[in-house]
Structure 1
Amino acid sequence: MSHRPRRRTLALTTVAAALVGGVLGTSSPAAAEPADHLVINEVYVNGGSAGAAYTNKFVELYNPTAASIELDGLSVQYRSASSSNPPTSVVALTGDLPAGTHYLVGGGSNGANGSALPTPDVASNGFNVANGGGTVVLADTTSALDPLATGSVVDDDRVIDLVGWGSSQTYEGSAAPAPSATSDVRSLNRTGYADTDVNAADFTLSATGDITPVACGEACAGVVEPPETVTIAQIQGTGSASPLAGDTVITSGVVIATYPTGGLNGFYLQTAGSGGADDATEGASDGIFVFGGGAAAAVAPGDHVTVTGEVSEYFGLTQLTPGSASDVVVETEPAEAVKPTVIDGPVDAAGREALEGMLIDPEGSFTVTNNYATNTFGEIGLATGDEPLYVPTEVAAPGSDAQAVAAQNASRLFTLDDASSANWTAGGSDTPHPWLTGVDTIRVGAGAAFSDNVVLDYRFSLWRFQPLTPVTADGAKPVAFSGAARPASPPEVGGDITLGTFNVLNYFTTTGEEYEAATGLDCEFYPDREGNPTTVDECDGDAGPRGAWDDANLARQEAKIVAAINELDADVVSLEEIENSVKFGHDRDDALATLVDALNADAGAGTWAYVPSPDASGLPPLANQDVIRTAFIYQPASVEPVGGSTVLVGSPAYTNAREPLAQAFRPVSGTSSDEFVAIVNHFKSKGSGVDDGTGQGLANPDRVAQAEALVTFADEVAADAGTDKVFLTGDFNAYSQEDPIQVLLDAGYSDLQEDAGAEETYQFGGEIGSLDHVLASPAAAGDVTGIGVWSINAMEPIAYEYSRYNYNVTDFYSPGPYRSSDHDPALVGIDVADRTASDIRAVATPGVGRWISPLVIAKVTPKDATGTVDVLADGEVVGSAPVRRGATLIALDGSALPKGKSEVVVRYSGDDTYAPSETTVTVRVLGH
């Protein structure tokens, strides 16, 4: 007996015969001969659905050879059409299959319609093939095939047979047709047991009613061992996967949460009396998910239940699947109650595995760190402690320091779920959102206090706090959020004039609708819940517009941007991600002028003006320009441009990014000594390009080259303008400790936000950091009176963005500044008046761990001041350094400061000429 896998290529003799028949022969080709190996003969995907022939899905195998085939060690596996992961369902086969005999693998069910299958030779309710597309594999292994190729499978010695249908990514030759979901129900049937390695040729859809599941029965039956009775801890084991996966077992426990509705389709069971401070099964969890909606409806929290079911791993979640409702028995004898286990602080991967599926009491501080998927799937990322998670390279140098922060982040992150699989912008869009309202937001940085226990759950690659019942808009919530209120006004930064920077999130006045009509292209869009277009998805690739689909959505976007810029009220604002109108056949400044008109309509005629683009000779060739650009707007009542704007042209570093735009400004009542240069930037994004392996995203070498070219360009522009006061602004697509920013710091620029400990401007992947920066040359830094970030966007849920208008029945839209973009604007105060009095100013950098302590940077004016600067915490000196050329750097003793934020006094001692002075500054210690 043999189940030897075959090499999945056609024999040369077969090819030669086909060539002879095709070239020399005159008769029709003969039908293919039956295969010389075990084959997948029939696949039925509609079990239990409306119109179904049978209540359960099935896969039928057939032995077309003249000898018996050993099945032990083989399996039937299923992977969904859209997945690139290993197969999610693996059913091990047993016994020997006689020649000319069928073998029936029973699967799951979509409902109660149809007749019962003949008794399958093996069955798994977790084996749920789908009608639209999928792949079933007959494999020479009982382990999930990883990797499983996409496309046409030509040569894989682990694969004995394979069929992909419909939209499947994996198939032989070409995919077989997809069976219907509910009407004209058919199965996939192999013709004549032949296997030509082309699924579309070998399989046809059965004639209506011709669905014929056949089992081997007693001819294949071996000795069937009764299910073993085990504890939940034995099922879970001490590793990431169950040691009993694929086995049918019996276990018992107390029901701690049920999900008969909402899509989770199951309940959580925990060993009676387990949990709390004492762990009798250290390293192994005492909780498990029992899959099956019917069973979930038959039990209630607190029930003592015995379950018989198959153990499996579902994308990392260990679960138990009963074969039927009769396999879940509610015992009459009560069991000892379960005790919640407290989580108060970070938990590593092994610690989480040991608590998977158990009742949890989240105590201590939790902080919202991710609200991106709140809008869609009702998920809220929470970090243990009083601060959200920081992008590692925002607070630590790339390499081992950043990796340590990443590891700490992983141990701090939990995702609060809504105990539902609903997408509140798709299938659930007509139901009010469970967490958010048009008034009550949940911002990153808000505190989270739990009022109820949860279950520690693992789904879709995230460790989750699953509420005990699904969260609804009008129902009780297991957690309350507080703090992190929306800032009502921009930060106070002082100064005679102010400089702002703002990424306006693809402000395009050329709409998708207009572009489609003008070009005749068939553009794609993102729809609202009623199918109405909101924003452009894809339109002529990267050459098309990227913003609002039509005028109505543009008006919503524009209202929010106008509110944000007018309330920011900076004298000069650098802009990123505004339409480069010349790419759409208009004047290059057309969209910029439209935005200024809208600003003036709101603030008053003449309040704003824009800096015109250079003429064509001062710009890159049109073909090399991006569809988005940078720009400057300003308030003519307070500042005026000096000369024209300048674009860096011809630098090879900028072939994949927007070239820097420079402009000199001075106050309207100022002199040449008050002039400064602002250069707005938008470096290459992290989304594509070379990965240099440093943990700084894709295209880091490109951004480094762009920073180096920027330094040279800034020197040239400053020399031409006759000033050494230079501000570099914009979206650098680099976090504060990354290489491109270090290039600029090494060139003598100061990162004003980092020096001042300002808030971060961006949120990505549940971590916060600053991609947007304002850097100043030494002379410009001396004029800075303050800097702040107006946190109106990055920490807000995306539900409030114009692009998500009418995605849920809850109306989230308002024309105010909040979520006007995905980046926060920054604001700098600049004092252009002469200073003669003694003064001290200071900023602080955060401390991370015991080796990286906070630094205080103090500047004393006039610059010829000498003496000493002391830093005092609660009256005690925690750092001291002499003043040289008006500045000093003091490394503080981080162990003498509390974790978190605290205020210290920075005191200048004075000298023979200048009197003492002092100020205060907030220092931040992220960890000891």
Structure 2
Amino acid sequence: MALPRLRRLITAASLSLMVAVTMTALPPSTANALSSDVVISAVYGGGGNSGAVFKNDYIELANLTGSPIDVSAWSVQYASAAGAVFQLTKLTGSIPAHGRYLVQEAAGAAGTVSLPTPDDIGTIPMSGTSGVVALVTSQTPLVGCGISCWSAPNVKDLVGYGATANVETLAAPALTNTTAVARTGALTDTDNNAADFVSGVPKATNSAGTTVTAGDPGDPGDPTPGTRRIHDIQGAGRISPIVGQNVTNVPGIVTAVRVTGNSRGFWFQDPSADADPLTSEGLFVFTGSTSPTVVIGDSVLVSGRVTEYRPATGAQTLTELGGTINTIRLTGGNALPAPVPVAFPDAFTKSGSLEAQPLEPSSYVLDWLEVHEGMRITVAQDTRLISPVNTAFSELWVTLKPGQNPTPRGGTIYSGYDALSSGRLMILSLNGAPAANVGSTLAAGTTGPLDYQSFGGYVLQATQLGAITEGGLKRQKVLPPKKQGDLSVATYNVENLAATNPAAKFARLAEAVVDNLGKPDILALEEIQDNNGATDNGVVAADQTVAKFIAAIQAAGGPAYDWRSVDPNDGTDGGEPGGNIRQVFLFNPARVTFVDRPGGDADTAVSVVRERPTSNQVSLSVSPGRIAPASDAWASSRKPLVGEFLYDGDKQLFVVANHFNSKGGDAPLTAAVQPPVRSSEVQRVKQATEVRDFVKDLSVKSAGRAAVVVLGDINDYQFSPTLQTLTENGTLLKPLIDTLPADQRYSYIFDGNSQVLDHILISPAIKGYSYGVVHINAEFSDQASDHDPQVVRILTGCNVDPLPTRCRPGSPVVDE
């Protein structure tokens, strides 16, 4: 037991002369620095040195009493192992009852982690091996105490470490760049530095109770739960009330572990919930690229920094523990907290800044998900897959409301910005998932913690995945034409096709062209890459890519297609870096003639030419050509490809193949501000304006007689401002997707929404047609592309009013 300072002096003075003489020949057994109120609790001098985690040296003090202690007139002082000159850092304020007090000293050039907010800051460069630290109840430097500074006036406590004789009895262990010395047990002072201090991982605590450790997973640490619980960290809103603070020894049971990628970590949950239904009891612990060592069922105490991770611009945040993580495993094999059955309300979300509004989990899906963030949830009923399983990422979407906005093939239709289906749920299986298509059944029982990611937003990270029963979905094909003169025109995004791709990809795409699309007479392709694909070496030609595709089509039983395109300038058209994607026309020369007009290149703008001043006959200045390639509307984006064709004798057809700017940069559907910001839409509206103006020029100069097909990957919905601009609200061009029943308007699936990105638009001069989306990819796990192609068949003999029965709109598409 340590003695009060007054009692310690009296006891020392009453020693017999013989005993005192005897002790002079030995290291002193009782130092003049014995303390029962404030002690030096830790010392670290390797901060910022090579291999160090912490950037700074530090000295930590501890108050052993139940009352605050004023240290505003005190100091901490340091001397080298052999030195007699002490450097001084003045203290301020007080140390809380049973609390710590952190003095930050000099920084080095290395280290990656900052100390918790220090209570005082000094500039002393302490030794990372041997030295002396004294706690002094004055702010006067120690002078002339030699190697007996433990007995100098006003010295409250002293620690000599490493190779120094200036110690209490014996020296504490030497320091290294990765180890500190810390007082043991109950912080008892026995005036023997060797007995009172042990070497270990640097771990610093300030007066606010914030602890940061350099994080040795082999250090068990103090197995006492801290004062914070998971529900304290999560709080009753979207943002943690203690974001940015460090928390120590937060208790919970490990419910799931992620050991792949650069977002590794684990989820843990407090089995003892509080009474507030708005506070989640689960939390993710982020360990970066390092796999956690815990397993499901471990009871743990976790220390780290409370952070709000925002995975993308506009996204909500995920409350998590990050920074330097210290995990203490207490026991294993514990029962997991019971999962909460998923029960979504009717409305998806409210408007405005969600982070500024109270949570209403009984009214809004996004609020229900937020209050269960990090917790175990379970899908308690059989559900239907509304996206195919992405086996590469073990990702799928289901609907918990099977009657909500269904497509005839099992998906969920997206029909408007304000028509989001509230039954959608994203699932990522932590243990893999089998291939399955839209319309398949996921049996009840999928269970795991609730996470948040930028794409898809909230996601159930499944530790247990229900059995999947395939739904028998069939791919579709186009029926043969009813008349020999019918002309078929198709669009197909072939997803970064390059000559370097495997032959199997070419074969799959070619088979679709022949068997599913019915060998279209004109085929507009999007995402044809240059000959060496993503290799970024200045190559822009795509002749090898196209030749390989044409050969694959012939091998599959198709015609010997010819082709036209315009090579882009290197690195100017967006897409995969180095790929130089562009649109390409394939055409069957036995069925149509491409009208070549020289001069088209990456920088030359195509224009509409009237054959004679008084004539309604029009042509293109160059064919193939590009629309307004110098316009800023096409910055880092694909320029439209325009071609002039003749079919059925001398019938003229103008085709505009497009691939508009992507939706990259838009806020997700689960954005923090609702409705989500669609920033990419601005550029697509500009692009739509350029194409619209070109088509309008064709229409005006031909007196409305020009037959025009505008098609491709517009990257926007049928109800979007982009399509309204492009079609001039349907007066200039007719969007054929709108001719289909509302529940069949889709060519792509994203976030579990069956939606429209690809379009075929026709001018009023085309009166008789049949049209359909050919569903062969988007709904299937085994897909050659992520887009479904579309076909319009221009029916011969239909340029009359009223239209004969066979000329009326219909779909040529059927199941295989």
Determine which of 568, 578, 586 is the counterpart of 2:528.
578
Cα separation, partners in 2 of 1:638 and 1:363, compared to 1, 3 Å:
farther
In the alignment, residue 756 of structure 2 is paired with which amino acid? Answer: S
CA contact (8 A) 1:344 1:364 kept: no
In the alignment, the residues of structure 2 paired with residue 564 and residue 290 of structure 1 have an alpha-carbon distance, to the nearest angstrom, of 46
CA contact (8 A) 2:50 2:177 kept: no
- Higher-Rg structure is 2
Q: CA deviation at 1:586?
A: 9.1
In the alignment, residue 797 of structure 2 is paired with which amino acid? Answer: A
CA contact (8 A) 2:452 2:459 kept: yes
**Alignment-derived partner of residue 213 in structure 1:** 180
**Alignment-derived partner of residue 803 in structure 1:** none
Matched, 1:351 2:318: no
In the alignment, residue 433 of structure 2 is paired with which amino acid? Answer: W
CA contact (8 A) 1:726 1:777 kept: yes
In the alignment, the residues of structure 2 paired with residue 361 and residue 767 of structure 1 have an alpha-carbon distance, to the nearest angstrom, of 22
TM, length-normalised to structure 1:
0.50
**Alignment-derived partner of residue 822 in structure 1:** 786
What are the residue-to-residue correspondences of 1:732-881 with 2, within 5 Å? 732-746=714-728, 747-756=731-740, 757=742, 758-764=744-750, 767-780=753-766, 782-785=767-770, 787-797=771-781, 818-819=783-784, 821-834=785-798
Q: Provide structure 1 residue ranges, at least 5 long, that are not aligned to the other structure.
A: 1-37, 48-55, 75-92, 103-132, 143-157, 164-187, 194-206, 300-304, 397-401, 421-433, 470-476, 510-547, 801-817, 843-858, 862-918, 923-928
- Report % sequence identity: 21
In the alignment, the residues of structure 1 paired with residue 103 and residue 227 of structure 2 have an alpha-carbon distance, to the nearest angstrom, of 33
**Alignment-derived partner of residue 683 in structure 1:** 660
Matched, 1:395 2:383: no
Cα separation, partners in 2 of 1:572 and 1:40, compared to 1, 3 Å:
farther
Determine which of 425, 433, 436 is the counterpart of 1:442.
436
Q: CA deviation at 1:352?
A: 2.5
**Alignment-derived partner of residue 610 in structure 1:** 562
Give the 3-state SS of the residue equivalent to 2:182 in structure 1: coil
TM, length-normalised to structure 2:
0.56
**Alignment-derived partner of residue 492 in structure 2:** 502
CA contact (8 A) 2:638 2:659 kept: yes
In the alignment, residue 708 of structure 1 is paired with which amino acid? Answer: T
CA contact (8 A) 1:246 1:311 kept: yes
Cα separation, partners in 2 of 1:395 and 1:344, compared to 1, 3 Å:
closer
Matched, 1:378 2:360: no
CA contact (8 A) 2:628 2:690 kept: no
**Alignment-derived partner of residue 566 in structure 1:** 514
Cα separation, partners in 2 of 1:716 and 1:40, compared to 1, 3 Å:
farther
Matched, 1:489 2:482: no
In the alignment, the residues of structure 1 paired with residue 365 and residue 95 of structure 2 have an alpha-carbon distance, to the nearest angstrom, of 36
In the alignment, the residues of structure 2 paired with residue 566 and residue 628 of structure 1 have an alpha-carbon distance, to the nearest angstrom, of 23
What are the residue-to-residue correspondences of 1:168-317 with 2, within 5 Å? 212-215=179-182, 218=187, 237-240=235-238, 246=246, 257=255, 268-271=269-272, 281-285=276-280, 296=295, 310=303, 313=306, 315=309, 316-317=318-319
In the alignment, residue 787 of structure 2 is paired with which amino acid? Answer: H
**Alignment-derived partner of residue 170 in structure 1:** none
Cα separation, partners in 2 of 1:223 and 1:600, compared to 1, 3 Å:
closer
Q: CA deviation at 1:222?
A: 8.6
In the alignment, residue 328 of structure 2 is paired with which amino acid? Answer: S
In the alignment, the residues of structure 1 paired with residue 476 and residue 539 of structure 2 have an alpha-carbon distance, to the nearest angstrom, of 40
In the alignment, residue 703 of structure 1 is paired with which amino acid? Answer: R
Q: CA deviation at 1:215?
A: 3.0
In the alignment, residue 214 of structure 1 is paired with which amino acid? Answer: V
Q: CA deviation at 1:680?
A: 1.6
Determine which of 105, 113, 116 is the counterpart of 1:136.
113
**Alignment-derived partner of residue 359 in structure 2:** none
Q: CA deviation at 1:350?
A: 3.3
In the alignment, the residues of structure 1 paired with residue 91 and residue 397 of structure 2 have an alpha-carbon distance, to the nearest angstrom, of 52
CA contact (8 A) 1:684 1:703 kept: yes
CA contact (8 A) 2:489 2:521 kept: yes
Q: Over residues 280-330 of structure 1, what are the superposed CA-to-partner deviations in whole Å (9 max), with x where a residue is unaligned?
A: 64323455679997764676xxxxx7x7665864653567999634x4498
Q: Over residues 131-162 of structure 1, what are the superposed CA-to-partner deviations in whole Å (9 max), with x where a residue is unaligned?
A: xx9731235489xxxxxxxxxxxxxxx9999x
In the alignment, the residues of structure 2 paired with residue 696 and residue 288 of structure 1 have an alpha-carbon distance, to the nearest angstrom, of 28
Cα separation, partners in 2 of 1:558 and 1:214, compared to 1, 3 Å:
same
Give the 3-state SS of the residue equivalent to 2:58 in structure 1: strand
In the alignment, the residues of structure 2 paired with residue 589 and residue 490 of structure 1 have an alpha-carbon distance, to the nearest angstrom, of 28
**Alignment-derived partner of residue 95 in structure 1:** 100
Give the 3-state SS of the residue equivalent to 2:732 in structure 1: coil
Give the 3-state SS of the residue equivalent to 1:748 in structure 2: coil
Cα separation, partners in 2 of 1:361 and 1:717, compared to 1, 3 Å:
same
In the alignment, residue 236 of structure 2 is paired with which amino acid? Answer: T
Give the 3-state SS of the residue equivalent to 1:350 in structure 2: helix
Cα separation, partners in 2 of 1:294 and 1:675, compared to 1, 3 Å:
closer
Q: Over residues 767-800 of structure 1, what are the superposed CA-to-partner deviations in whole Å (9 max), with x where a residue is unaligned?
A: 55333211011121x2112x22223333445xx5
Matched, 1:360 2:355: no
**Alignment-derived partner of residue 584 in structure 2:** 631
Q: CA deviation at 1:456?
A: 3.7
Q: CA deviation at 1:679?
A: 2.0
**Alignment-derived partner of residue 218 in structure 2:** none
In the alignment, the residues of structure 2 paired with residue 504 and residue 557 of structure 1 have an alpha-carbon distance, to the nearest angstrom, of 10
CA contact (8 A) 2:234 2:280 kept: yes
In the alignment, the residues of structure 2 paired with residue 260 and residue 772 of structure 1 have an alpha-carbon distance, to the nearest angstrom, of 36
CA contact (8 A) 1:571 1:638 kept: yes
In the alignment, the residues of structure 1 paired with residue 706 and residue 401 of structure 2 have an alpha-carbon distance, to the nearest angstrom, of 44
Cα separation, partners in 2 of 1:380 and 1:46, compared to 1, 3 Å:
farther
CA contact (8 A) 1:379 1:417 kept: yes
Determine which of 429, 434, 437 is the counterpart of 1:418.
429
Give the 3-state SS of the residue equivalent to 2:488 in structure 1: strand
Matched, 1:480 2:428: no
In the alignment, the residues of structure 2 paired with residue 45 and residue 493 of structure 1 have an alpha-carbon distance, to the nearest angstrom, of 75
In the alignment, residue 67 of structure 1 is paired with which amino acid? Answer: T
In the alignment, the residues of structure 1 paired with residue 234 and residue 540 of structure 2 have an alpha-carbon distance, to the nearest angstrom, of 64
CA contact (8 A) 1:242 1:312 kept: no
In the alignment, the residues of structure 2 paired with residue 258 and residue 613 of structure 1 have an alpha-carbon distance, to the nearest angstrom, of 51
Determine which of 631, 635, 641 is the counterpart of 1:661.
641
Cα separation, partners in 2 of 1:72 and 1:665, compared to 1, 3 Å:
farther
In the alignment, residue 380 of structure 1 is paired with which amino acid? Answer: L
Give the 3-state SS of the residue equivalent to 2:477 in structure 1: coil
Q: Over residues 465-521 of structure 1, what are the superposed CA-to-partner deviations in whole Å (9 max), with x where a residue is unaligned?
A: 24345xxxxxxx424254372515347886723210112233333xxxxxxxxxxxx
Cα separation, partners in 2 of 1:841 and 1:778, compared to 1, 3 Å:
farther
In the alignment, the residues of structure 1 paired with residue 733 and residue 121 of structure 2 have an alpha-carbon distance, to the nearest angstrom, of 60
**Alignment-derived partner of residue 514 in structure 1:** none
Matched, 1:601 2:555: yes
In the alignment, the residues of structure 1 paired with residue 568 and residue 430 of structure 2 have an alpha-carbon distance, to the nearest angstrom, of 53
**Alignment-derived partner of residue 324 in structure 1:** 328
Cα separation, partners in 2 of 1:136 and 1:380, compared to 1, 3 Å:
same
- What CA RMSD, in Å, does the superposition of the two structures yield over aligned residues? 5.8
In the alignment, the residues of structure 2 paired with residue 232 and residue 643 of structure 1 have an alpha-carbon distance, to the nearest angstrom, of 69
Give the 3-state SS of the residue equivalent to 1:566 in structure 2: helix
In the alignment, the residues of structure 1 paired with residue 228 and residue 573 of structure 2 have an alpha-carbon distance, to the nearest angstrom, of 67
In the alignment, the residues of structure 2 paired with residue 574 and residue 743 of structure 1 have an alpha-carbon distance, to the nearest angstrom, of 22
In the alignment, the residues of structure 1 paired with residue 708 and residue 338 of structure 2 have an alpha-carbon distance, to the nearest angstrom, of 65
Answer with 574-583 or 495-504: which moved more. Answer: 574-583
Q: CA deviation at 1:573?
A: 0.9
CA contact (8 A) 1:369 1:381 kept: yes
Q: Over residues 797-835 of structure 1, what are the superposed CA-to-partner deviations in whole Å (9 max), with x where a residue is unaligned?
A: 5xx5xxxxxxxxxxxxxxxxx32x333211112211248
Give the 3-state SS of the residue equivalent to 1:774 in structure 2: strand
